Amino acid sequence: MQLLCSERILQLPRSGIRRMFDLAAKHPDAIHLCMGEPDFATPSFIIEAAFQAAKEGKTHYTPNAGFLSLRRAVAEKYKKEQGAYYDPEGEVLITVGAMEALVLTLMSILNSGDEVIIPDPYWPNYQAQVLLAEGKPVFVPLYEEGGWILTADRVLSHLTPRCRAIIINSPHNPTGSVYGSNELQEIVRVCKENDILIISDEAYEKIIYDGEYHSICSLPEMKSRTIVINTFSKTYAMTGWRVGYVLGPEPLIREMTKLQENVAACASSISQEAALTALKRGEEAVMDMLTKYRRRRATLLQEIEKTRSFSCCPPRGTFYAFVNVRRLGDKSEDIALRLLKEAKVVTVPGSAFGSGGEGYLRFSFATSEDNIREAFDRIRSIL
């Protein structure tokens, strides 16, 4: 009998994060410090906008590239915040979350065997997405001592003529690192000298604790070399609405829109209307959530400080802390399993984010301060 599934699909790795979630389901009394999404409800005025859109009959297919009103608002945002000018009629594509934006991007830029540099540790979906597009992921290690930032010399030591793109995810899941403009300049130099594209995943751009966010697309001559990926998921607590977008050079966006027609047709019409309201009126709600994340981050860092075997490079963005647990001597997966079974606390082992994450656990602070304190009391009682 023929194989039921294609080789393409069979080669996709299983997610280590999913595995922890499945195990955690057997412990209903466990505290979850593993969430990859905001615990907040979507702000109510955004939900109202969606109801209104549905009542007004915005329940049909939209243009493949998304409603022009939303594309205009996205272009306006990048002009205002990053000084980068995108044409809403050719350089913006609305997608089904950042997830689809990444798949469309990789399928549109890679030929079979082309390489993509992924700084390691990494959000695991990058690996699967590159493989899905028949590309080859090339992992370049990041180090805690270097603040989890990719440097030019490390890129150069992994570069081959087949390299097509580097994925820069800032703020970074799982480490919380954020690239400053000097650090971006280094990557820009390598990218220009070697004619490589940057895929800039900006999913957590608004969850940042000091300084301004710099998108690599705003640096001189980088707009034509950068594909910006962004989403409403994390910023506005809208993970289930599935709206994101891509900004990039017009010829590429044109081809990606053709692909979009064949993959999803368009992002949900109602979600697009909700996203438009989020962009127009969401600033205060975003600041409010950020204030809460900031407090939780402080609580988490205090608890880590009190826990003898743990240490951590404080996250500058995201709602994750990547905690060094090397002093415990075991593999990160074994430590995470022990915390789950004995302390009833769910974390994600660093190894789920690539070999560069071994020796670490990812703690999410998208949960209440009480939960964070209680989880650490439990952890300290078993260590």
Ligand X SMILES: Cc1ncc(COP(=O)(O)O)c(C=O)c1O
Which of 173, 200, 235, 347 binds ligand X (CB under 6 A)? It is: 173
Look at strands 136-141 and 163-169 and give their pairing: unpaired
Look at strands 348-349 and 360-364 and give their pairing: antiparallel
Q: Does 264 sit near ligand X (CB under 6 A)?
A: no
Q: At what angle do helices 369-382 and 283-306 cross, to 10 degrees?
A: 20
Q: Does 260 sit near ligand X (CB under 6 A)?
A: no
Q: In sequence order, which residues have a C-beta less than 8 Å from that of residue 145 and are 6 or more positions away?
A: none
Q: At its nearest, how many Å lie between ligand X and the CB of residue 38?
A: 11
Return the number of the residue (21 or 378) whose C-beta is nearest ligand X: 21
Question: How many Cα atoms within 13 Å fall on the side-chain side of residue 322?
Answer: 31
Q: Does 272 sit near ligand X (CB under 6 A)?
A: no
Which of 169, 257, 332, 351 binds ligand X (CB under 6 A)? It is: 169
Q: Does 118 sit near ligand X (CB under 6 A)?
A: no
> What 3-state class would DSSP assign to 47?
helix
**Which two three-digit tokens encode residue 201?**
């995943």
Return the number of the residue (233 or 257) whose C-beta is nearest ligand X: 233
Q: Are 273 and 50 a contacting pair, CB within 8 Å?
A: yes
Q: With CB under 6 A as the contact rule, which of the stretches 18-26, 91-99, 192-200, 292-300 interacts with ligand X?
A: 91-99
Return the number of the residue (318 or 332) whose C-beta is nearest ligand X: 318
Q: Are 259 and 108 a contacting pair, CB within 8 Å?
A: yes
Q: With CB under 6 A as the contact rule, which of the stretches 92-100, 109-117, 292-300, 345-353 interacts with ligand X?
A: 92-100
Q: Does 200 sit near ligand X (CB under 6 A)?
A: no
Q: At its nearest, how many Å lie between ligand X and the CB of residue 303?
A: 23
Sign of CA dihedral 32, 36, 40, 41: negative
Q: Does 97 sit near ligand X (CB under 6 A)?
A: yes
Return the number of the residue (36 or 350) whose C-beta is nearest ligand X: 36
Which of 201, 205, 273, 333 binds ligand X (CB under 6 A)? It is: 201
Q: Does 36 sit near ligand X (CB under 6 A)?
A: yes
Q: Does 99 sit near ligand X (CB under 6 A)?
A: yes
Return the number of the residue (172 or 344) whose C-beta is nearest ligand X: 172
> What 3-state class would DSSP assign to 319?
coil
What beta strand segments (E) does the chain contain?
A: 31-32, 92-95, 115-120, 136-141, 163-169, 197-201, 226-231, 244-247, 311-312, 320-324, 345-346, 348-349, 360-364
Q: At its nearest, how many Å lie between ligand X and the CB of residue 309?
A: 27
Which of 43, 124, 244, 354 binds ligand X (CB under 6 A)? It is: 244
Return the number of the residue (319 or 376) whose C-beta is nearest ligand X: 319
Q: With CB under 6 A as the contact rule, which of the stretches 44-52, 93-101, 245-253, 295-303 interacts with ligand X?
A: 93-101
Exposed e or buried b per residue across 276-304, where buried means at least 16 C-beta atoms within 10 angstroms of its C-beta = bbbbeebeebbeebbebbeebbebbeebb
Nearest to 203, CA basis, from 282, 98, 96: 98
d(CA 146, CA 153): 13
Distance linking the first and last C-alpha atoms of the chain: 52
Q: With CB under 6 A as the contact rule, which of the stretches 13-21, 129-137, 231-239, 300-308 interacts with ligand X?
A: 231-239
Q: Does 15 sit near ligand X (CB under 6 A)?
A: no
Q: At its nearest, how many Å lie between ligand X and the CB of residue 375?
A: 21
**Distance set, CA 72 to CA 19, 48, 245, 340, 373 (Å):** 40, 21, 12, 46, 44
d(CA 165, CA 116): 5
Q: Does 231 sit near ligand X (CB under 6 A)?
A: yes
Which of 123, 245, 310, 319 binds ligand X (CB under 6 A)? It is: 123
Size of the site for ligand X (CB under 6 A): 13
Residues engaged in binding ligand X (CB under 6 A)? 36, 97-99, 123, 169, 173, 201, 203, 231, 233, 239, 244
